[in-house]
Chains A and B, each alone.
Chain A
Amino acid sequence: MTDALMQRIKNFIMEEFLPGESPDELTETTPLISGGILDSIATLKLVMFMEEQYGVTFEPHEIDKENLDNLASILRLLQSKNPTVA
């Protein structure tokens, strides 16, 4: 897992959904969906961002709490789709 990739996705979440929050508060394991940070529209926006940035496609059934509830699992799923992203 690359730090640069993690940082870019984290920045997107911080800017879009946590404006004004200290970056230290958002860690790899902070619950995003179950923690009330990403609602359904926010989740779709995040997915669209990753699809555009990294040329991957998320299947409808992958867009759920199991896969996207924290940064670590988001990166796992993203890298399983495109191992070359960094």
Chain B
Amino acid sequence: MSGGAGLHESFIASARQSPRAVAVAEPGRGSITYGELDALSDRMRDRLARLGVGRGDRVGIYLRKSIDSVATLLGALKSGAAYVPVDPGAPATRGAYILHNCAVKVVVVEAALADKLGAELEVLGAVPSMIAVDGPQEGGAGLRAVLTAADREAKASPVESVRSSPADLAYILYTSGSTGKPKGVMLSHENAVSFVDWCSESFAPTAVDRFSSHAPFHFDLSILDIHVCLKHGATLVLIGEDIGKDAPRLAQLIAEERISIWYSAPSILALLAQFGSLARYDYSALRQVLFAGEVFPVKHLRALCEFLPKPRYFNLFGPTETNVCTYYEVQLPVPPERNTPYPIGKVCSHLRGRVLDEHGAAVACGSEGELCIAGPGVMQGYWALPEQTAKGFFKTADDTPWYRTGDIVTEGQDGCYTYLGRRDRMIKRRGYRVELGEIEAGLYRHPNVKEAAVVAFADEQTGVSITAFLSSREAKRPSLIEIKRFCAENLPLYMIPDRFAWYDSLPKTSTDKIDYQRLKEMR
């Protein structure tokens, strides 16, 4: 079953087919039906068109996850624009940088954050139109009220939804960049629809399914949650960030909301197994547990599967640039003696995979190399970064662009890939990708920091731990509490190092660069 050219068209088809079905539920804050969500996103489309948004533009979304933000992203797609979801919990300077970088025409912003974001945008000389929405209210009422008020000022006449071309951008997701600035991954409608159709084929969702929406919308896991769910006329259950990290409450929510398809980073599933007191509730509706974003330590996966033996478990793998590119179904039970992580599995049917060496030549089966991916799911490039885009691909003799994932793998006889590590300084933490260079750039903003070098270490409990090695400009070093607070103000929470180690100066190589090899031994 194919959804057509535009990512939003399969949602529109679902809304025509079953307007009274619940499209999105926000526990504690009501729900919205397919018919109502279609109408609300039409109104958002009309308002965006009135503000001059059309095909080829970008619309920023600076809202917490809510029915309002789902309606906004659908409205943006219907208007022909790409949506750009930005984390409203991260520092406003970072959000403003992203919105300015891809020159959004309109930002839909939570009212309480509008002044701060507006001030940061002004510093950059950016002047997008702003639509300010009060904090989430029951069933999308907040957004509806804002659109009604705007209509009283200047009526937004109904326009047609744009029929997007496959190459039009559907969304831009910003990920950590090694230079300290986030970079925008451009995904087209074809990229998105080919992925969504693969999910349909692999997971066979139906209208009675209830999908979790655990990942924030600026994170690529949300593409499966939102768009696969809405294509199939199922119900999307929004999980806010506060409950999302809180294992006991989350366990209760999964049971009470009768979630049937769960998708998240492994770290939260590990927390559920350890701290969720899972035995308290009934999870009989749960039929699939999908996880992606980082290695799932087998110890915690085994504990989870022992608590919840009924669902099927899938390890999904892939960078934002391709979304999921390989997948592996874990066979239960997890053997008690197993301690090596599961393979990342086979290449998804809509993509092709190869293992290449650093020159782009294929390696012998079973040898180490970089996983490279081609096919309709592969991104269009990084926004306004043609050089980084070019570096991201190998071109083969037949002119096929192969996206270089940066992941070092081996291919088994059965076509299953095993993940070995990264070729660069990117790590995965709580499902987020983190460039260690971006943390360093953040630490250097502290007035007392003279040198900063960040190193990731394997950690049996959490998968990875981050240590910042620092030297100070002044004899009095910032206290641990002060430096942690500084990080909380300047970096997204998932980037804050676990340990801070101060030295008079950091070890150098013969060319006077920071010696990371020595640092790795100084743990």
Q: Which of B475-494 contact A (CB under 8 A)?
A: 479-482, 484-485, 487-488, 493
Known contacts being A41-B462, A44-B275, A63-B246, is A34 close to B480, with CB within 8 Å? no
- Asked if B455 CB lies within 8 Å of chain A CBs, one says no
- Asked if A55 CB lies within 8 Å of chain B CBs, one says no
By the criterion CB–CB under 8 Å, are B480 and A21 in contact?
A: yes
Q: In the complex, what's the smallest C-beta–C-beta distance from B467 to chain A, in angstroms?
A: 13
Chain B positions within 8 Å of A44 at CB level: 246-247, 271, 275
Q: Give chain B's interface secondary structure class.
A: helix
Q: In the complex, what's the smallest C-beta–C-beta distance from B496 to chain A, in angstroms?
A: 5
Chain A positions within 8 Å of B488 at CB level: 34-36
Known contacts being A34-B488, A44-B271, is A18 close to B480, with CB within 8 Å? yes
Q: In the complex, what's the smallest C-beta–C-beta distance from B513 to chain A, in angstroms?
A: 28
Known contacts being A18-B480, A21-B480, A48-B275, is A36 close to B246, with CB within 8 Å? no
Q: Count contacts on B: residues with CB < 8 A to the other chain.
A: 20
- Asked if B512 CB lies within 8 Å of chain A CBs, one says no
Docked complex Cα distance between A44 and B462 (Å): 14
Q: Which of B249-281 contact A (CB under 8 A)?
A: 249, 252, 271, 275
Docked complex Cα distance between A71 and B104 (Å): 42
Q: Select from chain A the residue with minimum beta-carbon distance to B242.
A: A64
Chain B positions within 8 Å of A64 at CB level: 242, 246
Our count of residue pairs bridging A and B at CB distance below 8 angstroms stands at 51
Docked complex Cα distance between A20 and B480 (Å): 8
Q: In the complex, what's the smallest C-beta–C-beta distance from A70 to chain B, in angstroms?
A: 12
From A25, A31, A39, A61, give the contact of B480 (CB < 8 A): A25
By the criterion CB–CB under 8 Å, are A36 and B479 in contact?
A: no
By the criterion CB–CB under 8 Å, are B484 and A36 in contact?
A: yes
Q: In the complex, what's the smallest C-beta–C-beta distance from B1 to chain A, in angstroms?
A: 38
By the criterion CB–CB under 8 Å, are A21 and B481 in contact?
A: yes
Known contacts being A36-B496, A63-B246, is A22 close to B484, with CB within 8 Å? no
Q: What are the interface flags for A24-52 relative to B under an 8 Å C-beta threshold, 1 for contact and 0 otherwise? A: 01100011001111011100100010000
Docked complex Cα distance between A48 and B488 (Å): 24
By the criterion CB–CB under 8 Å, are B481 and A35 in contact?
A: yes
Q: Select from chain B the residue with minimum beta-carbon distance to A64.
A: B242
Q: In the complex, what's the smallest C-beta–C-beta distance from B338 to chain A, in angstroms?
A: 24
Known contacts being A31-B485, A35-B485, is A40 close to B245, with CB within 8 Å? yes
- Asked if B91 CB lies within 8 Å of chain A CBs, one says no
Chain A positions within 8 Å of B249 at CB level: 60-61, 63
Q: Which of B492-513 contact A (CB under 8 A)?
A: 493, 496
Q: In the complex, what's the smallest C-beta–C-beta distance from B475 to chain A, in angstroms?
A: 15
Chain B positions within 8 Å of A20 at CB level: 480
Q: Which of A8-25 contact B (CB under 8 A)?
A: 18, 20-22, 25
Closest 3 pairs between A and B when the two form their complex, measured CB to CB:
A36-B488, A60-B249, A40-B245
